[in-house]
Amino acid sequence: MQTVSIIGAGRVGGALALALGRAGFGVENLFVRRPESVARAASFAPGAVVSDAADYGRIRSEIVFITTPDDAIAAAALDLAGKLQTAPVVLHTSGALASDVLEPLKIKACPVGSLHPLVSLSDPVRGAEHFAGANFCVEGDPAAVEAARKIADALGGRSFSIATRYKTLYHAAAVTASGHLVALTDVALEMLGKCGLSEKDAQATLLPLIISTVDNLALQTPAEALTGTFARADVETFEKHLAALAENVSDEVREVYLQLGARSAHLAQRRGVDGEKLALIREKISLAKKDFRC
């Protein structure tokens, strides 16, 4: 049984503690920032020592996770390097930062790396269920990457690697696919709000559509999965959209629609849709942008 200590027991750290315990790992220590977080953290790993002090000198685990917010990882690594009595594998779970943020730990001969679960974790309990089937981005020292891959496998996930220099670009892609999807849904909810629907009803109305689109993407390329006005190069309907948007929504919402419309036209072109109609749509998008930016 491999042993683990986790620094930070929020959404990611708590979910990892739960999932790793269920997968047969020995979760020995959980470190939290505030005294009021101790009781909740203890529920994630019965039997673990939970502390609101950074007493890292007692760590004897084979693997240490740093799951703090990104802006606290470097400080945690420096503190850890000054107190460790052993040389465990140290992994952080940031999507945006690469393993080089853990450089201070090299002085203790710790293999360092990152293990980022490419999955949405809104809370620890539900998040622990989401690791199975998830993809994990791993990078770092060879020994750390090997350990990270084994952890991903144990959690029922799949691992892949990227060059360290591309870690932030990778994270921007993840935010676009997940966080921006939520923001885009909020834009659509605002439009339906103008139609008289409550936010709750609008969300319930859109959710099956969103799910069916994601289901299509599981089986098709984006160009193949594209449906609706742009997939048909329906110029007349597009013009009606522009008029309705100009009358009812803010310039910010219109710009979101137009920017994504341009990308949708690009996808439609890849699919072989009528080029002349798509050119006309692109022209109207450009004119509409100039109209509200004046």
- Can you give the pLDDT at residue 122? 84
Question: Where do the domains of the chain lie?
Answer: 3-166, 179-293
pLDDT tens string 54-75: 999 999 999 999 999 999 999 9
Confidence of residue 293 (pLDDT cuts 50, 70, 90): low
- Say what the alpha-carbon torsion angle 256, 258, 262, 264 is, to the nearest 10 degrees: 70
pLDDT tens string 215-267: 999 999 999 999 999 999 999 999 999 999 999 999 999 999 999 999 999 99
Share of the chain above pLDDT 90, in %: 94
Cα–Cα distance measured from residue 90 to residue 251, given in angstroms and rounded to the nearest whole number: 47
For residue 90, CA distances in Å to 103, 128, 165, 225, 291 come to 11, 21, 19, 41, 53
Superfamily of the domain at 3-166:
NAD(P)-binding Rossmann-like Domain (3.40.50.720)
Task: Output the six-digit token pair for 253.
Answer: 């919402």
Asked whether 12 and 121 are in contact (CB, 8 A), the reply is yes
pLDDT exceeds cutoff 50 at 294: no
Cα–Cα distance measured from residue 12 to residue 93, given in angstroms and rounded to the nearest whole number: 8
* Bridge partner list, 63: 4, 89
